Amino acid sequence: MATVNLGKIKLKWRGTWSSGGSYTIDDVVSYTDGSVTSSYIAVAASSNQAPSTGGSENSSYWNYLAKGQNASPTTTQGDLIVRGASADERLAIGSAGQALKVNGSGNGLTYGVAGGLLQARQWVKNSTIDNPSSGDSVLDSPFDGTARITPAAAGNIIKVSYFNTIDHGSNWRSNKLRLEWSSNGGSTYYGLAGMGIQSGDNNSDMHGQVGTIVCMFNPNTTNEVRVRVVNNGHDSGQGRRHGQYNHEGNDNTSVAPDSVNGVIATGHGILLEEYASAIASVTVIA
pLDDT tens track for 233-247: 876 666 777 888 777
Query: 117-275, what's its fold?
Result: Jelly Rolls (2.60.120)
Q: What is the DSSP annotation of 38-98?
A: EEEEESS-EES--SEETTEE-TTTEEEEE---PPPPP--TT-EEEE-SSSEEEE----TTE
Peptide bond into 257 cis (omega under 30): no
* Cβ–Cβ < 8 Å for 92, 79: yes
Q: Tell me the C-alpha distance between 178 and 201, whole Å.
A: 22
205: Cβ–Cβ under 8 A, 6 or more apart, which residues? 168, 170, 171, 248, 249
Q: Tell me the C-alpha distance between 253 and 51, whole Å.
A: 94
Q: Each residue of 162-175: pLDDT tens digit?
A: 999 887 655 667 78
Q: Report the range out of 43-47, 124-128, 239-243 with the highest average pLDDT.
A: 43-47
Q: Is the pLDDT of residue 203 over 70?
A: no
Q: Is the pLDDT of residue 283 over 60?
A: yes
* Cβ–Cβ < 8 Å for 157, 220: no
Task: Give the global pTM.
Answer: 0.65
7 DSSP 8-state letter: G
The boundaries of every CATH 2.60.120.660 domain in the chain are 117-275
* Cβ–Cβ < 8 Å for 235, 176: no
Query: 11-66, what's its fold?
Result: Seminal Fluid Protein  PDC-109 (Domain B) (2.10.10)
Q: Each residue of 67-93: pLDDT tens digit?
A: 887 767 777 888 888 877 767 788 888
The boundaries of every CATH 2.10.10 domain in the chain are 11-66
